[in-house]
C-alpha cells in the first residue's frame, strides 16, 4: 500500500472554485481531505465519496451518511457548473466533452453523462447533461517508494506496466514514478493524452514532477510517444491507459529504440490481460508488472514482480 507516512497533498485543492454558487456556500466548512469524488446527479442528493463511505450534504458544512433532507441538485446547478468548468465556452472543449469528461485546474476531472449526440457512428457531443462526477486528484509523495527498486536495474530503467482497476490509484502511482525518476536526473517525458498525470495550466503542472520532466499534453498516446521520442531524447516515456493497437505498435518501436516505457492499463491483474488477445501482445515488451487494487484502500500494491 502507499507508504503510511507519505505526504499526501489535499484532493480539495481549488475544487470549490468549480462548484455552482448555490452548492458552494453549503460546502464551506466541509472537510474534503480524503474525498475521492463529488457527484452531482440531476434531482438527486449531492453525494461525496470518501474511502470509508458515501456522505450527503445536509446543511452548511454538514454531512450525513443518510440522504434524508440532503441538498438536491437542480438543472440550474448543473448548467452553472458546466459554465464554470468551460469558462463559459462549451464549444471550445467539445473534443473533451465528447469523450465524457473535462479536466480542470488542479488535475481534477469532471465526468459527464447525459444524452450522446451521434455523428458518423461516433459520439460528437453530450447534451442534456444529467450528472457530473468530480473525481478529485491527489498527490501522494512517495507512492512509488516500494517499486522504484524494481523499476531500476542499476542505472537502467526497466519497462514497467501498472495494472489497475478504475479508482485504484494508477495515475497517482505514475505521477510519483515520474517524480522520483526525474529527481534521479533521468530525462522523463510524460505523454498526457487525458490531461490527468500532469494537469498543466498555462504550461505549469499542478503536481511535483521533478526537475527533468517534460510533458506533452492532449496528443493521442501513440503519436505523442513517438513525437517525444524524436524530439526530447527521453530516458523514459510515461503514459496512462494504453490499450489500442496503435499504442502497442508505438511501445514496440520505443523499446527497440533503447528508451524505456512506463505505462498503465485497466485490468484486474496480468493474468486477465493474457486472456485478452488484443493486450497479450504487449506483455513481452514489459519487464516489471505492478498490480494495484483496493484490498487495503485505493493504492494498495497487490503484486509487484520483475518478469
What CATH code is assigned to 7-135? Answer: 3.30.450
- CATH 3.30.450 residue ranges of the chain are 7-135
Entry pTM: 0.81
CATH number belonging to domain 139-306:
3.40.50.300
CA distance 137 to 10: 8
Tell me which residue has cell 488484443: 278
* pLDDT tens digits along 154-198: 999 999 999 998 888 899 999 999 999 999 999 999 999 888 898
Question: What's the pLDDT score for residue 6?
Answer: 46
Listed in order, the ranges of the chain carrying CATH 3.40.50.300 are 139-306
Task: Answer whether residue 31 shows pLDDT above 50.
Answer: yes
Q: Buried (b) or exposed (e) across 261-278, using 16+ Cβ within 10 A?
A: bbbbbbbebbeebeeeee
User: Which pLDDT score, from 0 to 100, does residue 91 have?
Assistant: 64
11: pLDDT confidence band, cut at 50, 70 and 90? low
pLDDT tens for 219-262 read: 999 999 999 999 999 999 999 999 899 999 999 999 999 999 99
Whole-number Å distance between alpha carbons of 224 and 45: 41
Q: Is the pLDDT of residue 10 over 60?
A: no
pLDDT, position 200: 81
Q: What is the pLDDT of residues 40-99, one digit of tens each?
A: 999 999 999 988 899 999 999 999 999 999 999 999 999 999 999 988 777 667 777 888
20 close to 80: Cβ distance less than 8 angstroms: yes
Q: How far apart are CA 88 and CA 68, in angstroms?
A: 33
Max CA pair span of the chain: 60
* Structure confidence at residue 139 (pLDDT): 84
Question: Residue 217 CB: number of other CB atoms within 10 A?
Answer: 19
Confidence tier at 5 by pLDDT (50, 70, 90): very low
Computed over every residue of the chain, the mean pLDDT equals 89
The alpha carbon of 183 is separated from its chain's Cα centroid by a whole number of angstroms, namely: 22
DSSP state of 248: H
Residue 30, pLDDT > 80, answer yes
Max mean pLDDT range (87-96, 282-291, 297-306) = 282-291
Please give the Cα distance from 276 to 279 (Å, whole number). Answer: 5
Amino acid at each position: 500500500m502507499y507508504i503510511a507516512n507519505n505526504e499526501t497533498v489535499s484532493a480539495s485543492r481549488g475544487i470549490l472554485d468549480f462548484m455552482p454558487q448555490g452548492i458552494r456556500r453549503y460546502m464551506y466548512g466541509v472537510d474534503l481531505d480524503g474525498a475521492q469524488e463529488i457527484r452531482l446527479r440531476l434531482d438527486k442528493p449531492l453525494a461525496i465519496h470518501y474511502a470509508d463511505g458515501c456522505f450527503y450534504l445536509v446543511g452548511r458544512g454538514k454531512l450525513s451518511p443518510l440522504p434524508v433532507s440532503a441538498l438536491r441538485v437542480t438543472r440550474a446547478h448543473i448548467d452553472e457548473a458546466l459554465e464554470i468548468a468551460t469558462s463559459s465556452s462549451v464549444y471550445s472543449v467539445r473534443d473533451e466533452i465528447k469523450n465524457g469528461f473535462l479536466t480542470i485546474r488542479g488535475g481534477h476531472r469532471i465526468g459527464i453523462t447525459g444524452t450522446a449526440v451521434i455523428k458518423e457512428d461516433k459520439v460528437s457531443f453530450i447534451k442534456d447533461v444529467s450528472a457530473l462526477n468530480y473525481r478529485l486528484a491527489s498527490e501522494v509523495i512517495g507512492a512509488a517508494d516500494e517499486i522504484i527498486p524494481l523499476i531500476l536495474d542499476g542505472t537502467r530503467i526497466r519497462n514497467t506496466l501498472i495494472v489497475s482497476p478504475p479508482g485504484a490509484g494508477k495515475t497517482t502511482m505514475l505521477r510519483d514514478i515520474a517524480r522520483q525518476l526525474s529527481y534521479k536526473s533521468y530525462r522523463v517525458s510524460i505523454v498526457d493524452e487525458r490531461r490527468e498525470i500532469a494537469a498543466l495550466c498555462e504550461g505549469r503542472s499542478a503536481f511535483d514532477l521533478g526537475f527533468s520532466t517534460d510533458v506533452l499534453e492532449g496528443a493521442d498516446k501513440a503519436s505523442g510517444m513517438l513525437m517525444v521520442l524524436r524530439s526530447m531524447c527521453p530516458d523514459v516515456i510515461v503514459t496512462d491507459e494504453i490499450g489500442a493497437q496503435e499504442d502497442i505498435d508505438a511501445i514496440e518501436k520505443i523499446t527497440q529504440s533503447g528508451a524505456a516505457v512506463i505505462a498503465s492499463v485497466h485490468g484486474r491483474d496480468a493474468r486477465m490481460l493474457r486472456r485478452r488477445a488484443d493486450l497479450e501482445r504487449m506483455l513481452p515488451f514489459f519487464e516489471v508488472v505492478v498490480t494495484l487494487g483496493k484490498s487495503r484502500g485505493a493504492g494498495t500494491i497487490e503484486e509487484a514482480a520483475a518478469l
